[in-house]
Amino acid sequence: MSPGHQIIGAIQLLLLLLCSLLLPTPSMTSLLKTETDDFIDWWQHAVFYQIYPRSFKDSNGDGIGDLQGIISKLPYLAETGITATWLSPIFQSPMVDFGYDISDFKSIQSEYGSMSDFEELVHTAARLGIKIILDFVPNHSSNQHEWFKKSAARAAGFEDYYVWADGQLDELGVRQPPNNWQSVFYGSAWEWNEQRKQYYLHQFTKEQPDLNFRNPVVVQAMDEVLLFWLNKGVAGFRIDAVNHLFENETLPDEPLSGQSTDPLSYDYTKHIYTKDLPEVLSMVQHWRKLLDDYTAQHPEDSTRIMMTEAYAGLTELMNYYEDSSGIMGSHLPFNFHFITDVNRESDARDFVYNVEKWLIYMPRGHAANWVIGNHDNPRVASRFGSASVDAMNMLLMTLPGVAVTYNGEELGMEDYRDISWKETVDPPARNAGELKFKMVSRDPVRTPFQWSNATNAGFSEAAKTWLPVHPNYLEMNLEAQQQAAKSHYRVYRSLIELRKLPILRRGKFSIEPLSRAVFAFKRTLKDYDTIIVVINVSGKEQLVNLTDFIDRPQQLIVEVAGVDSSYEPGAFIFLANNRSVSQQLRLSASAGIVLTEKQWGMSPQRRALVRQLIKSFNVVLVALLMYNLWRHKWTKVNFN
C-alpha cells in the first residue's frame, strides 16, 4: 500500500471512530424507545371513569339507567378519551342500597338488562378500547340472597356463612344486641332473626348482612364470583368497603369516641374491633394473587387489576399497595384525600400537603391515584364551588398516576340539594329522618346524567325518573358544552389529550405553595418542555409571581385554561424577571392554568432525526472503507 493510501485509510478509520462516538448512547436509545413503549402498564396512568348505572342512561323508558343505555354511550366515552370505566353494581338486587345489597352475585339486575346485554357491553367496550371494571361487594350480601336464607335456617354447610351471635339480657331481662357496635348507616349493627333465634351483624343496612370471611367456604364462594366475571372478560374489580371485612371474634364493646352523644350514631364509638383488622390485608393479598394468577393463565389480555375502597389511615392504605415484607395487595388503594382532607376552606398549603403525603408514603414502584368524586360524596362543584371545576380537573389530570372521575364531573354537574323527603330514597338519609336527612343523603350526587336540554336531560323518556333530574339541566348539559366554544367538558377533553404526553405519563413531579392562595407544580422529563400547573384555591383573583418557581419565566405557553380565563390556549405568556405587576400571571378566583415552559432548540423528534442521519452516514462510510480495502487488495493481486 502506498503512503497516500495509508493516509486515506487512517483518515477513514478516524472518521469511523468519530461517527461511532456520535451514535446514540444506550440511554439515548432507550429514551427513543420509551417514546412509544414507556413500560407503563395500561392501568398505571389511566383515567377511570365511574359510571353509576342507575343514573347514566335509560334505554327503555322506565326512568332507570340500564346496560343498553351504557352501551349507547360508550362512543361518548371513547371520544372523550376514556380508556377504563368502573361500574357501580349491576347485579341482581332488591335495591335497598341501590345495588350494594346483592341477592345473586352472578346475575344481572333485570331492570338493568340481561347477561347477553352485559356480554355485548364488554365486547363493544373492548372494540372501542375501553376496559370494564366491576364493583365487587364482598362484605355483605342482601338478606334476600339464598345463602342468607339458608344460613338463617341453619341449612347444612351454610350455618357460618354470616356473622351470628346470641343476644344478652339487660337488668330487666329484655334481650339486647351482643354489644354496642353501630351500623355505618345509623342504629345497632345487629338485627334479631326470629327464625334462627340469633342476631346477625350488618355493618350497613339491616338488609345487608355481613358475610363471614373467617369461613373458608365463604372465601371460596367469593373467589368463584371473581373468576366468573373474569371469564366474562372484565379487566378487574373495584372492591367495596373492604376494610369492614373482619370483626373481632370475641365481640367486645367498642370504646366511646367522644365525638357524638347519640349512642346510635356511627361516630359514637371508635371502630377498633370492626374496621381495619389485620385480616383485611391478608384477604386483599389473597385476591391479588387470584388476579395475578388469572393474568398469568390468560396472557392474551392485559393485567387484571383491583382498586380498593377503604376510608382508612395512610399507613394502612400503603400496606394495601404492598406490605412491609413486599407482598403485593391492591393495585390502587383509592386515595380519597381530595374528598376527605381538603374543602373550600383549605389553602394552598393544605393542598400541597395533601398531595405530598400520598407520594411520600407510597412504596416505590407503585402508581399514585387521585379520586376527586364518587357516588357517596358531594360533587366537586358543590364541595369546592362551581368556579373550581376546571382547576380541580387540571389538578386531577396532571398529577402523576391514575385519575378517577365520577360521571358528570367532566361537565361540572352539581348536587341537587332540593330533593324532598318524599323523593329521598338513600337508606342512611331515610334512617336519619325528615329533619336531618339532608345532612347525610347521597341522592343529590346520584341524579341522572345531564346529556342535553331534552326531556329529563336526555336521560330517559319516562314520565318520572328514579331520582329527579337537576333542574339546571337546561343550561348545564353535555350537548350545550360540546357546542360551546369554551366549556368544562372541552377543558376536560383537552386535559385528557394532554395527559397522553410522555411527560405526564412518567415525568418527575415537584409541588410548592407559592402563597396561601396559590400552589404550583411541575412535571419534568429530559428532552421535553416542562409542564407547569398553577392553581388558585382562594375565592379572590391572584397575581402570581412565577419567577422563583420556574427556570425560564419568559418562555411560557398556555396549554389549558379554564372557561373564565383571559388566557387562550396556545398563547405565549411573557413574564419578566423584574417582578413588575403587569408581568405576573393573573388567575381569577378558584382558577387554574396549565402551561409549558418552552425549551428553545431542537425538539426531541428533530434530535432523533439527526441521530438517524448520522447513523446512515456512518453506514456509507463503512461501505466506503470496505470498498477501499477491497480495491487495495484487488490492486495488489493484479499488479504485484
What residue ranges bind ligand GLC (CB under 6 A)? 97, 100, 137, 204, 240-241, 309, 375-376
Q: How far is the CB of 375 from ligand GLC (least distance, A)?
A: 6
Per the residue annotation, which of 58, 101, 117, 240 is the catalytic one? 240
Measured from the CB atom, the residue of 241 and 495 that comes closer to ligand GLC is 241
In the complex with ligand GLC, which residue's Cβ is closer, 118 or 185? 185
C-alpha span between 66 and 59 (Å, rounded): 7
Q: Are 431 and 185 in contact (CB under 8 A)?
A: yes
Element (H, E) at 318: helix 314-321
Which residue's CB comes closest to ligand GLC? Answer: 100
- Where residue 131 falls (left for φ over 0; alpha for ψ -120 to 50; beta otherwise) is beta
CA angle 53, 54, 56 (to 5 degrees): 60
Q: 327: exposed, middle or buried (C-beta count within 10 Å: 0-12, 13-18, 19+)?
A: middle
Task: Give 97 or 111: the residue with its C-beta nearer to ligand GLC.
Answer: 97
- The nearest distance, CB 566 to ligand GLC, in angstroms, is 40
Asked whether the beta carbons of 306 and 132 are under 8 A apart, the reply is no
Q: CB–CB of 218/224 below 8 Å?
A: no
State in angstroms the smallest separation of the CB of 97 from ligand GLC: 5
254, 276, 309, 443: the active-site residue: 309
Q: How far is the CB of 243 from ligand GLC (least distance, A)?
A: 10
The DSSP symbol for 632 reads: H
Q: Give the C-alpha separation, 164 to 196, whole Å.
A: 9
505: amino acid identity, one letter:
R
The residue to which cell 456520535 is assigned:
22
CA distances from 293 to 288, 297, 344, 640 (A): 8, 6, 44, 73
Residue 240 bears catalytic tag: yes
Paired with 49 in beta bridges are: 85, 405
Q: How far is the CB of 257 from ligand GLC (least distance, A)?
A: 20
109 vs 530, beta carbon nearer ligand GLC:
109
Asked about 253 being catalytic, the answer comes back as: no
- Nearer of residues 225 and 241 to ligand GLC, judged by Cβ: 241
Q: Cite the DSSP H helix spans in 88-240.
A: 115-127, 146-152, 216-230
Q: In terms of CB distance, is 373 or 507 closer to ligand GLC?
A: 373
CB atoms within 10 A of CB 145: 24
DSSP state of 210: B
Q: How near is the Cβ of 539 to ligand GLC at its closest, in Å?
A: 31
Separation of alpha carbons 278 and 27, rounded Å = 43
Nearer to ligand GLC, 442 or 523 (CB): 442
Amino acid residing at 155: A
Q: How far is the CB of 246 from ligand GLC (least distance, A)?
A: 16
Q: What is the DSSP string of 115-181?
A: HHHHHHHHHHHHHTT-EEEEEE--SB--TTSHHHHHHHTT-TTTTTSB-EE--EE-TTS-EE-SS--
C-alpha–C-alpha distance, residues 200 and 192, integer Å: 7
Residues annotated as catalytic are 240, 309
